[in-house]
Amino acid sequence: MSTSKLTTTTQDFTPIIAMAIAGMTPHSERAYRKAMTEFMSWYAASGKAQLDKATVNEYKTVLSDRGLSAATVNVSLSAIRKLVLEAADNGLIDQVLANGINKVKGVKAQGVRAGNWLTLDQAQALLNAPDITTIKGLRDRAILAVMLGCGLRRAELAALTFDHIQQRDGRWVIKDIIGKGNRVRTVPMPSWAKAAVDDWAERLVWTSGPVFYSFRRGDNIDSAGMTAQSIRDVVVLYAQALGLNIAAHDLRRTMAKLAHRGGAGIDQIQLSLGHASIQTTERYLGVTQDLTDAPCDRLGLSL
């Protein structure tokens, strides 16, 4: 019979958690570490004799009974699967048990979560909101321009360096940015976003390393690069001033929505955003079937 050699203390399991989350983006690392630690605490307190598929299914029920969203439960399950596979690789759990846990199904989401999108006028107002007579205003406009123009995530923007911004095929791009799931992509950059970055860069005494830096008091640039949280704060500051109830991630959705309305193909939007599947991109766009101008009306065939 397959047995689990796992200890029931989270402290003993810390090295396995560290190995399981190695190489993740900072955001994913925090989420997975939290999910793994919470699961191991529950497992230790439960007094279970063995970590197996039934145990994880029981924990899934516990999470659902807490009223957590399907997305939150599924992140926890994904973290547990990764943790258990790492434990199996290190001989702490039988591979048969690990394979069984890997087959635990996620929770189905009921309906499609609606995102927030800015209209063209709202996006333009947000882009124009910073006071560009100040150095901080130039930085903030460049942040908003890159988020709206390129659809970068907050963590990607925080990791953006001047070396990423290059010319390819006669246009500016953000080359080889590392996104979610460690997927690498090259993102086309509109000329107006590049101009906003250039205006900001002219006020810097250096043009290497991170593109965006924090500020000290008195409009003085700090040597520390910005974090994902500080970028979020920039977006919220100007959004609230305009009466817009949006999150930083909604600028990414807005980029996709405006591009699609402008005629960009969903496949190209998917490549720019770095989505693993076209279905994720469609959710960003809120795509629904157009019965007045359906794909079958454009085939060019007749009897």
Among the listed residues 71, 8, 3, 5, the one whose alpha carbon sits nearest the alpha carbon of residue 39: 8
Quick one: pLDDT at residue 12? 63
Distances (CA, A) of 84 to 9, 52, 53, 212: 15, 10, 11, 38
CA–CA gap between residue 284 and residue 299 (Å, rounded) = 27
Q: What topology is assigned to 120-285 in CATH?
A: hpI Integrase; Chain A (1.10.443)
CA–CA gap between residue 213 and residue 223 (Å, rounded) = 7
Q: Identify the CATH number of the domain defined by range 14-102.
A: 1.10.150
Quick one: pLDDT at residue 290? 59
Quick one: pLDDT at residue 2? 47
CA–CA gap between residue 34 and residue 103 (Å, rounded) = 22
Radius of gyration of the chain (CA): 23
Classified as helix, coil or strand, 177 is: strand
Residue 102 and residue 139 in contact, taking contact as beta carbons nearer than 8 Å? no
CA–CA gap between residue 152 and residue 168 (Å, rounded) = 19
Q: Six-digit token pair at 145? A: 């321009």
CA–CA gap between residue 27 and residue 21 (Å, rounded) = 11
**Where along the chain do its domains lie?**
14-102, 120-285
Quick one: pLDDT at residue 293? 60
Which regions in the chain score pLDDT beneath 50? 1-3, 5, 7-11, 112
Same fold, 14-102 and 120-285: no
pTM for the whole structure: 0.63
Beta-carbon count within 10 A of 286 CB:
14
Quick one: pLDDT at residue 57? 93
